[in-house]
Chains A and B, each alone.
Chain A
Amino acid sequence: MRTPIRLKDMRIRPLVFLAVFILVGGAFLHADGLMQSRSLSAKIASAPGKVLYLDNSLTKITIVAVPQNEIIAQGVVEVDGPDDKYLKSFLDESKIVLEPFADGFRLRLATPRDSEDWSSWLKFFRRGQSIHFSYSARLDVQVPAQQDLHLDNSYGDIKVRGVSGKIVIRNQSGGVEVEGGGGSLDVRTSYAPTSIVDFKGPVEVEATSGEVMLKNIGGETVVRNSYRPVRFSKIGGPLTVTSQSADVTGSDVEGDCEIRSSYRTVDVRGVRGKLRVDAPSSTVKVDAVQQSVVVESSYRPVSVMNAGGEVRVTASSGSVAVDMAGGDVSVRNSYNEVRVSRVKGAVSVEGTSSLAWVQDVEGNATIVTSYRNVTVNNVGGTLDVRAGSGRITVADIKKSATIVSSYQPVEVRRVGGSLKVEGSSSSVLAESVAGDVDVVNSYRNVVLRKTGGSISVRGSSSAIEVMEIQSVPKGGKIELITTYKPITLTLPESVEAAISAVTTYGKIRSDYPVYLQDSEKNIKIEVGKGGILVKLETTADITIKK
């Protein structure tokens, strides 16, 4: 739906914004206002096991680890407004509180707005509101490297560098940046970015509508966020990301990895453990997972490459591509395509209206789908294909193959074991089948070439042609039965067979001498000393060739 836009607005409005912001910048550069500030400081000796509680708002906080065993806080309060006297009074009443508290120390950059004295608070609040007063604060803190921290802030960024204690950070509408250090880290924030880099310990981040960036984390990592991207690299332990409608991108996870998201893209590479991705309506890309991979998605492409263990993918209406799997592969899909290749274990594809393409499977292959084509090449075990109304093309199956289809051609080449085909209204072409062949079909041709075992074809209105028979085992049989269509059988030169051919309305032609029985429509032929039993029945012509 196109929004009604006037061309004039398109040109003018952005220019207005641009002009406004250039003016803002310029005004800001040149305006002095009545901005005043005051610096404050405090310090206290710390001790191992003590927690520093910092509870502030509207403060930009920086905490840096130092070798000394004391806490040094330096703050700056900035105020602005037309009432000089008020500003001065506000600054005079601002202070840094740094005192023993609970199991550690309490640190606040306290302004009159935070006053516990009702009258003082009200005096500054009401006056401040009436004169358009504003303020901001900054707090720079040095702490011992092993200090435990509990930081609570809003509307100000928090930065922590090199601290290795137990760190808890709560910040609303303010970014969190942690660099270096170790211990443990628990961050909860909203509407702002979180960045954690080179942190040696476990990390837990909850960021409502906040972007999360993690790099080089030493321990287990848990992330919960929404609507903003999550990026990670070099996670030293297991990783869990639970996200709503956010891109999740990352690499190098030492342990197991679990990712939940939706409506965006999940791109994960290099997981040393297992990987699980649960991401409806998401594009999923997975590469280089040492153990198993489980993916649940829908409506968007899923790609899994290079998995060391088993792979399970459920993708409704999304295409699936799996390449190089060390274990079994199982794919459930609908209305899109599935491509699986280079699998060390077995393959199972279950799809509704899914195109299936399977190649180079060391184990067994099972494919169930409908209405779309199936192509299978090079399976080391057995093959089982059930595909209604889909064209089936199969080649190089080491063991036996079973195919059920309808309305579309079935082509099979080079099967090491037996072959069974049920094709309602499907033409069947089978070539180079080492074992027995059993075909049931209707309304379409059946052509068999270079078979090595017994043959049984039961057709209804299907023309049957069998030629270049390689061998038939002793005691084996060839049984070709159909209606309304001709049968043509070419027997190998050295064969010994007892042939029975019956037709209702057609003619029987034979390169071999015939004994008439009942009539010329019901004959018997003895080739050599008997041997294999051959039975040919149709209502149309029968041709027996040498």
Chain B
Amino acid sequence: MDSDMPKRNRGPAISPLSSPATELEGEEESLLHRCRDGDLSAFHEIYTRFERPLLGTAFRILGHRQDAEDAVHETFLKLYLHIDRYRSGSRFSTYLFRILLNSCLDILRVRKRRRTDRLDAESLPYQPYEEGLFHLQRAIDSLPAQMRACFVLFAVEEFKLEEIADILDLRLGTVKATIFRAKARLRSVLMEAHKAKEAEA
């Protein structure tokens, strides 16, 4: 690891929640009204807008394509059944991701994970894969559920801390502390992987 003075350059915060392609503001009222009426085309519209960030987030947390699809599938069913729970004062995207995260955490809790063969090059969505990214995903996979969710939402999907607190129903301080501990843990895991690789070489 180099010891040069690192530059803090996060770049602009490209949170999926603030992306014009995904946010519903403006037409939100009429779309949600149609959802409450059970209009499936309204749900399809929501799916079209949020498919990529939902699948991406679920995949990062669950590490498995099929599980990610199941989580998104369950999210839309729950959205359909519980659309009345959404309060118009809060952001719809936060509500949607909250449902997704609950589904992901549920899958992690209930199902037996296929630990050995789940994460491999072919289960990653892009080609060709890079070894470093593979190890990072594996390291993320080793984090406890809540820590994993906080880190993925913050570092991978670039949600704001307040948004993460709202999605996971945690205090802001808890989110900050969890992300800090996640990074500390990832540092440790990646360092071990690096050492093991050097030892092999």
Contacts and interface: CB of A to CB of B under 8 A. Distances in A.
Contact of A224 (B87, B169, B171, B173): B87
Contact of A244 (B85, B87, B173): B85
Nearest to A114: B173
B84 interface: yes
A279 to B, nearest CB: 11
B82 interface: yes
B38 to A, nearest CB: 12
A161 interface: no
A260 B84 contact: yes
Interface string B171-187: 10100000000000000
Contacts of B173: 55
Contacts of A278: 84
A152 interface: yes
B84 A242 contact: yes
Contacts of B82: 244
Nearest to A154: B171
Contacts of A260: 84
A101 to B, nearest CB: 13
Contact of B171 (A152, A190, A242, A244): A152
Contact of B85 (A55, A152, A242): A242
A55 B84 CA distance: 31
A260 B173 CA distance: 34
A260 B171 CA distance: 28
A126 to B, nearest CB: 15
A220 B111 CA distance: 43
B177 to A, nearest CB: 10
Contacts of B87: 224
Contacts of B84: 242, 260, 278
A274 interface: no
A139 to B, nearest CB: 17
A264 interface: no
Contacts of A244: 82, 85
A170 B171 contact: yes
A100 B17 CA distance: 34
Contacts of A224: 85, 87
Contacts of A190: 169
Interface string A136-176: 00000000000000001000000000000000001000000
A180 B86 CA distance: 30
A460 B158 CA distance: 78
A55 B82 CA distance: 31
Interface in B136-195: 169, 171, 173
B56 to A, nearest CB: 27
Nearest to B173: A55
Contacts of A152: 171
A190 B87 CA distance: 17
A55 B171 CA distance: 10
A190 B169 CA distance: 10
B146 to A, nearest CB: 13
A260 B85 CA distance: 9
Nearest to B171: A152
Contacts of A242: 84-85
Nearest to B84: A260
A75 B85 CA distance: 38
Interface string A216-238: 00000000100000000000000
B97 to A, nearest CB: 17
A222 to B, nearest CB: 8
B187 to A, nearest CB: 15
Contacts of A170: 171
Nearest to A188: B169
A242 B87 CA distance: 10
A351 B146 CA distance: 50
Interface string B83-102: 01101000000000000000
13 contacts: A55-B171, A55-B173, A152-B171, A170-B171, A190-B169, A224-B85, A224-B87, A242-B84, A242-B85, A244-B82, A244-B85, A260-B84, A278-B84
Given A55-B173, A224-B87, A244-B82, 10 more contacts: A55-B171, A152-B171, A170-B171, A190-B169, A224-B85, A242-B84, A242-B85, A244-B85, A260-B84, A278-B84
Nearest 8 interchain pairs by C-beta: A260-B84, A242-B84, A152-B171, A242-B85, A224-B85, A244-B82, A244-B85, A224-B87
Interface of B: 82, 84-85, 87, 169, 171, 173
